[in-house]
Amino acid sequence: MAIIKKEVYPIKDNGFEYDGKHYDCEHAIKRDIKMILQEAETSHKDNFDEFYDRNTLRADKIHVFVDENGTPIYGMIVYIVSYKEGGGRYACGGYYPFEFNNSLLMPHTFQESICW
C-alpha cells in the first residue's frame, strides 16, 4: 500500500470528516498535546512560558495520507499555539494509522513525530 497524496482537513469538535465519514481524534489530540508540551519544555523550557500561552494549544487541521484508491493510511494532526504578544506557530503531532473500518485515530507504537 503506497501513499499517493496528502489531503488537509480542518479539525472540528475533536474530529474531522473524510469521504462522508466522521473520524474521532479526541484520544490522539490529548496524547499529542501532552507530548508537544513535554517537548517544548524540554527543548526551550527557559522561555516557553515567557513567549507562548500554553492554554491556547489546540488542534487546527489534519494531514491525511491516502493510497491510490483514496483510502486513508495515516493521519498527522497539526496544532497551533499563540504567542503572548500576538500571532502563533504550528506544532505537529504524531503519525496515526487509520484502522480498517474504524473511525478512531489510534497511536502507532513505532511512529512518533512530535515537531516543535
What pLDDT is stored for residue 29 in this prediction? Answer: 94
pTM (2 decimals)? 0.85
Domain parsing of the chain, residue ranges: 5-97
- pLDDT digit string (tens) for 40-75? 888 887 888 899 999 999 999 999 999 999 888 889
* 62-99 burial: b if 16+ Cβ within 10 Å, else e: bbbbbeeeeebebbbbbbebbeeeeebeebbbbbbbbe
What pLDDT is stored for residue 45 in this prediction? Answer: 79
What pLDDT is stored for residue 43 in this prediction? Answer: 84
Please tell me which residue, 100 or 70, carries the higher pLDDT value: 70
